[in-house]
Amino acid sequence: MRYLYNLFCYILVPFVLVRLLWQSRKVPGYRHRVRERFGYFDCPEIYQNGIWVHAVSVGETLVAVPLIRAIQARHPNVPITLTNMTPTGAERAKALLGDTIFHVYVPYDLPNVVQRFLKKVKPRLLILIETELWPNMLHYCHATKIKILLANARLSERSAKRYARISRIVRIMLRQLDAIAAQTEDDAKRFEHLGISSNKIHVTGSIKFDMQIPASALESTDILRMQLGINKKIWVAASTHPGEEKSILEAFLRVRERFTDCLLILVPRHPERASDIAKLCRAQALPVALRSKNEFTDQAVLLVDTMGELMSFYSIAHVVFVGGSLVSTGGHNLLEPALFSLPIISGPHLFNFAQAALLLEKAEALTIINNEKELACEVIKFLENEELSEEYGQRACQVVAENRGALDRHIKIIFALFNNSAASGRDCFLNLFRLRGKPARTATRGEHCIAPLWTPQRPCLRCKQRRFLTFKT
């Protein structure tokens, strides 16, 4: 199985490079720092032997940031390396963490690339944010005794069924994890059903409940209000996806019949789609302005084609629709607008944020709609009734306050693993690199060879297994 997986990955490399080039048409960042994705970079020695945090893109990075800050606050001398898959995630990491961490793109899941990365960074602990499992990444970390934590872990019922179809492969990967910090009891049970020991699973809650309003968002409130019009009603449609904007714009036309000066701030999940969305606005005869051009006057729609400003726009909103929920994407973070005590509207597809949605619904702080007509009615209802809007917002904020604490629980798990990891990882890396291509040796008395599945190397002369060899007393 491992041979086939690695062969498939190597065959895909040319196509991956073509895809990077294609993506760079709209996001130039994809053509930069490509060498890092193949493990070619220089890691300063001060960032070695620390913690490696991997966050795929923006959403995961926003979860990783408070976790990293908490680690730095408690143990400022522990070096941290943060990896991302996307340029947007890298930009947010740089903006929020600056030079306090070492940033590099995550290595592609090729054996030699992962080994090259590990040789340079030499992490003692790998923290994977939410659900990001790569066979070679997990295998080589496990083989070199790097502790692995799946943090803020979630596993929807839909994903669990999909993983169950390839349970043999998934079980191997999950067993290489040292700990899972599951968001809910349901998530924990799904992981357990996939074959991981219950001793490794900890129910911690979601780090998203521990997020704070950034000072920059509060500082920009008055400026944005002045630019956009102090007396305007403002509706923010956040993290929207293809197929949602048309419904949102049709709903907005209905809202404009009741509130002629209402402003729609439309924040697509992927800013590179701004030009396509602008065409939709013009097709509906709605004047549209681009945030990147600072066009604010007499526009019905402000299209946010920049990164990192969503929280600032929440600070001036009267009502919020959270996207990724009218289409089957699974929804996005409902707790960020809750921090601002805002009434929250969402579509029905919330399987990626089921816990937050359930808590908000129970508290009567979340309104679920199914189409543009219902969306328009709910927006109008909240804009008309300030008292009702305030009640919903306060209940949403209370839900967040009552569910804090996941961050502290994560920190305890992290440093229990970190303190039990190899002091420097040096012996592990000698096994991984010095022995490659050299004759195998026999495990001596008092030793045994660990033969992880999926890593064909030289045979041990004692057990005759053709596996990667680490010798443990």
**Residue 110, token pair as written in the block:** 């090729």
Residue 273 to residue 215: CA distance in whole angstroms? 28
Residue 63 to residue 209: CA distance in whole angstroms? 10
Q: Which CATH number fits domain 215-402: 3.40.50.2000, 3.40.50.2300, 3.20.20.140, 1.10.3720.10?
A: 3.40.50.2000
Q: Which residues are catalytic?
A: 60
pLDDT tens digits, one per residue of 103-142: 999 999 999 999 999 999 999 999 999 988 899 999 999 9
What are the residue ranges spanned by the domains of the chain?
A: 37-205+407-427, 215-402, 438-473
Q: Determine phi and psi for 237, rounding to 5 degrees.
A: -105, 110
DSSP 238: E
Q: Determine phi and psi for 366, rounding to 5 degrees.
A: -135, 135
**pLDDT < 70: residue spans in the chain:** 296-297, 422-473
3-36 burial code (b ≥16 CB/10 A, e <16):
eeebeebeeeeeeeeeebeebeeebebbeeeeeb
Residue 418 to residue 410: CA distance in whole angstroms? 12
* E strand or H helix that includes residue 83: strand 80-84
Comparing CA positions, the residue from 168, 118, 163 lying closest to residue 138 is 118
Residue 451 confidence (pLDDT): 41
pTM comes to: 0.81
CATH 3.40.50.11720 applies to domain 37-205+407-427: yes
pLDDT tens digits, one per residue of 429-438: 444 444 343 4
Neighbours of 278 (CB within 10 A): 18
Note the Cα 82 to chain centre separation in Å. Answer: 12
Same CATH fold assignment for domains 37-205+407-427 and 215-402:
yes
Residue 170 confidence (pLDDT): 86
Residue 422 confidence (pLDDT): 56
* E strand or H helix that includes residue 118: helix 111-121
Residue 297 confidence (pLDDT): 63
Comparing CA positions, the residue from 370, 361, 367 lying closest to residue 326 is 370
Residue 218 to residue 314: CA distance in whole angstroms? 10
Residue 365 confidence (pLDDT): 96
Residue 426 confidence (pLDDT): 43
**Residue 357, token pair as written in the block:** 């949605």
Burial grade of 471 (CB within 10 A; 0-12, 13-18, 19 or more):
middle
Residue 435 confidence (pLDDT): 37
